[in-house]
Amino acid sequence: MSSISIRFPDGSREFRYPERPLEVGDVLHHDGERYRVLSVSNNDDGRDRATVELIAEDLLDKLQSEEGGLRLVPAESSP
């Protein structure tokens, strides 16, 4: 199974790699919060890592649809 480590403000977690590779600027939805991808890199061990930041909730964020955002699936819950 291929996975990616995503570095959230409160720590890193591992997820199944999405069908489409993550890119800088992508929006992720995780645990009811929206995050923006700041960087995507390759670790020394050959695994991918993404760093994200929380997107502040304001009126514009609330009006925008979440459709099209990438949904994260924890690596340990793979079939």
pLDDT tens digits for range 23-49: 999 998 888 888 889 999 887 777 788
Which residues, at least 6 apart from 74, have a Cβ–Cβ distance to it below 8 Å?
Answer: 13, 14, 15, 16
At residue 24, the pLDDT reads 92
Amino acid residing at 61: D
Question: What average pLDDT is seen over the chain?
Answer: 77
Task: Please say if the pLDDT value at position 58 is more than 80.
Answer: no
Task: Give burial (CB, 10 Å; 0-12/13-18/19+) of 28.
Answer: buried
By percentage, how much of the chain surpasses pLDDT 70? 73
Lowest mean pLDDT, pick from 1-10, 16-25, 57-66: 57-66
